[in-house]
Structure 1
Amino acid sequence: MTTSTNLPAGVPGALAVSATPEGGAVAARGVSKSYGRGETAVHAIRDVSLDFAREHFTAIMGPSGSGKSTLMHCLAGLDSVDSGRLWIGGTDITGLPDAELTRLRRERVGFVFQAFNLVPTLTAEQNITLPVALAGGTVDVDWLQQISSTLGLSDRLSHRPHELSGGQQQRVAVARALLTRPDVIFGDEPTGNLDSATGAEVLSLLRRSCREMGQSIIMVTHDPVAASYADRVVLMKDGELVGELEQSTPDAILGALAQLGA
């Protein structure tokens, strides 16, 4: 494997950036984001250009303060950038009016967070279909049944969150993210509140959603074991991309992070 020029020696991977974002799930070109001004400014991400292929599972990792969460928030349209351009499913989201950006996130982006973010008074099925209901849309019942079956939720749809285990609640969150067939699902430490066995179960389901449902997933995590479920691990340090690993093991990921000071 090759080594990128700004990656510490011994860390494999080279960041490949295509000329255009056409055909990909998400793309960034020359994206930068800072907080504050003058000498106190924090440069969270610096001139990042990156492509995320469709039907792939990508993990973003780096030391604390590396900019991985900021990058995810910008890619998802949850935060604006100072410079550069961003695309979701071929749509340039840079500078989109708030109403259009909100609609795009609702219809074409899914989210799975560390907190399950389920409404306690609603059943699992109602939580899954809530975004469609809020948008005034119509639920594709066949697709709902397929997702529920794949995620092992068919016999839990009438249960409320307090009647479900942590793993089942996160599966409901994954099902909710999948329901609209989004261009991409963003995961922010999606297994952070789960024990190792349940976390492995959820990560396997995310990976299966790529293989069997054609889903694209971008996940931020600090856990090398979680990242090893991804097809690709993008490494960041000090707001910059410094390399990547493909189809890697927890030990190899841990070694790469150690060289980055994580």
Structure 2
Amino acid sequence: MTIAMNSPVPPAGSTSPAPTGAVAARGVFKSYGSGETAVHALRDVSLDFERERFTAIMGPSGSGKSTLMHCLAGLDSIDAGRLWIGGTEITGLPDAALTRLRRERVGFVFQAFNLVPTLTAEQNITLPVALAGGSVDQEWLKQVSSTLGLTDRLAHRPHELSGGQQQRVAVARALLTRPDVIFGDEPTGNLDTATGAEVLSLLRRSSREMGQSIIMVTHDPIAASYADRVVLMKDGSLVGELEQSTPEAILGALAKLGA
């Protein structure tokens, strides 16, 4: 197991080059509450996520993995440190600019499919572009739909699709804008084993064949084994990482953390 090392934090306003990866964190702290009841969710977290790689974040309950993902995605603020998405620093970015950046350059795949029941699969896939007032790249839509096996399901509404097909629609929606990164929050948590494996395989293909950068939070060693890299957390800190690991190796590493 490789121990993760923190990188120096560039000072605010520094002219140092911005990180070139998909996402980066430097010296990030995050707490909830104050005084004796304060919960220190993130403690001096510095981490780089390379482009075109599939990374899983794991750790015991309360380790800070979900908080880290929310902060990296700009869904939650931080107390100290700096964050970048695709070379753009999001630390202190005004709400309107942050919302626009998330809409245009970040994709999300959640445990709940979050599809609009009255819209077709195609309309759900293209919804973020429609809300932004943009135009859909039809060739890219065809390629994504074909890659995810949705070509003959685009006219169906969510209730006419299986759970796996609905999650494929969610993945297609995340891919459509060619974002800098896709964040997955337990994306197979509501799926059976076979369907979950199918969706994880699609995420891995999205990274390897379509050049997508993916960061996934999961508690499942089998799910994490589909990733190129597994980052391990405990008590709000980075404690190690694994490359191209088996479920057994990941489970062993988690056992050492008390997970």
Q: TM-score, normalised by structure 1?
A: 0.94
Change (3 A) 1:66 1:82: same
Structure 2 match to 1:13: 2
> 1:155 aligns to what SS in structure 2?
helix
Structure 2 counterparts to residues 94-173 of structure 1, below 5 A: 94-173=91-170
Query: In 2, distance between residues paired with 1:14 and 1:237?
Result: 12
Structure 2 match to 1:246: 243
The answer to whether the 8 A contact 2:24-2:47 is kept is yes
Please point out which of 193, 196, 200 is paired with 2:197. 200
> In the TM superposition, what whole-angstrom CA distance separates every residue of 1:111-163 from its partner, at most 9, and x where no partner exists?
00000000000000000000000000000000000000000000000000000
Query: In 1, distance between residues paired with 2:6 and 2:112?
Result: 33
Please point out which of 31, 34, 37 is paired with 1:37. 34
**Is 1:190 the counterpart of 2:190 in the alignment?**
no
Query: In 1, distance between residues paired with 2:212 and 2:189?
Result: 22
Query: In 2, distance between residues paired with 1:52 and 1:17?
Result: 13
Query: In 2, distance between residues paired with 1:212 and 1:179?
Result: 15
Query: In 1, distance between residues paired with 2:257 and 2:78?
Result: 25
> In the TM superposition, what whole-angstrom CA distance separates every residue of 1:29-84 from its partner, at most 9, and x where no partner exists?
00000000000000000000000000000000000000000000000000000000
The answer to whether the 8 A contact 1:58-1:218 is kept is yes
> 2:96 aligns to what SS in structure 1?
helix
Where do 4+ consecutive residues of structure 1 move more than 2 Å?
A: 16-22
Identical counterparts, % of pairs:
87
**Is 1:63 the counterpart of 2:63 in the alignment?**
no
| Letter in structure 2 aligned against 1:41 | A
Query: In 2, distance between residues paired with 1:231 and 1:47?
Result: 24
> In the TM superposition, what whole-angstrom CA distance separates every residue of 1:148-207 from its partner, at most 9, and x where no partner exists?
000000000000000000000000000000000000000000000000000000000000
Structure 2 match to 1:4: none
Query: In 1, distance between residues paired with 2:65 and 2:19?
Result: 24
| Letter in structure 2 aligned against 1:15 | A
Query: In 2, distance between residues paired with 1:35 and 1:18?
Result: 24
CA deviation after TM superposition for structure 1 residue 15, in Å: 1.8
**Is 1:80 the counterpart of 2:69 in the alignment?**
no
Query: In 2, distance between residues paired with 1:32 and 1:153?
Result: 41
The answer to whether the 8 A contact 1:18-1:51 is kept is no
> 2:124 aligns to what SS in structure 1?
helix
Change (3 A) 1:183 1:203: same
CA deviation after TM superposition for structure 1 residue 241, in Å: 0.2
Change (3 A) 1:181 1:17: farther
Structure 2 match to 1:209: 206
Q: Which blocks of at least 5 consecutive residues in structure 1 are unaligned?
A: 1-11
> 1:233 aligns to what SS in structure 2?
strand
Q: Which blocks of at least 5 consecutive residues in structure 2 are unaligned?
A: 9-16
Query: In 2, distance between residues paired with 1:21 and 1:165?
Result: 42
CA deviation after TM superposition for structure 1 residue 16, in Å: 5.1
| Letter in structure 1 aligned against 2:41 | A
Query: In 1, distance between residues paired with 2:254 and 2:6?
Result: 22
| Letter in structure 1 aligned against 2:147 | T
Query: In 2, distance between residues paired with 1:138 and 1:21?
Result: 30
The answer to whether the 8 A contact 1:21-1:27 is kept is no
The answer to whether the 8 A contact 1:17-1:51 is kept is no
Query: In 2, distance between residues paired with 1:207 and 1:168?
Result: 17
The answer to whether the 8 A contact 1:21-1:51 is kept is no
CA deviation after TM superposition for structure 1 residue 22, in Å: 2.6
| Letter in structure 2 aligned against 1:244 | E
| Letter in structure 2 aligned against 1:83 | A
The answer to whether the 8 A contact 1:88-1:183 is kept is yes
